[in-house]
Amino acid sequence: MEATGKNYGYIEWLSAEEMHEASLQWMSELKFIRDEQRFLNDLVASYTPQLADQKVFKESQEIIGAISKSEKEVIEFMKRVKSHLNLLEIMVNDVDELKMEKAYIETHWELSSEIKKYSNEYRELKTALFHLVARVKKMNKRLLN
């Protein structure tokens, strides 16, 4: 039997402070990913001629395209988390705004889920690029010997 609908029950127990800390952690992780993407771009630039080789060109194109897409996504996530942090006031003010508080909690859960998914996909992308570069380096060693 499959559950239908969204279940946000466990998030409702998080305090405003816990959601704030989680949001700050997301922002830190996203900034790190952004810095790492700059490194990946430098890595790709360093191996451009080898990545253009017919044997790996299609795979290189796919990975480089995915990195580019990932760069745009991380910027969007950073904007969303910043906005989410700015709206935290809804949770800590003394006014009972139940609908807005519930919407904030739901947004928090959705962001948590989306960032986790993005982070996992990014890690797979990074691994794929490292494997490709390692393969290209081995191909070049064979050619030089």
5: left (phi over 0), alpha (psi -120 to 50) or beta: left
Q: What pTM was estimated for this model as a whole? A: 0.81
- Would you mind telling me the total number of residues written for the chain in this entry? 145
pLDDT tens-digit series, residues 53-99: 888 999 999 999 999 999 999 999 999 999 999 988 777 776 677 88
Residue 86 to residue 88: CA distance in whole angstroms: 6
Hey, what are 51's tokens?
């990545």
pLDDT tens-digit series, residues 130-143: 999 999 988 877 66
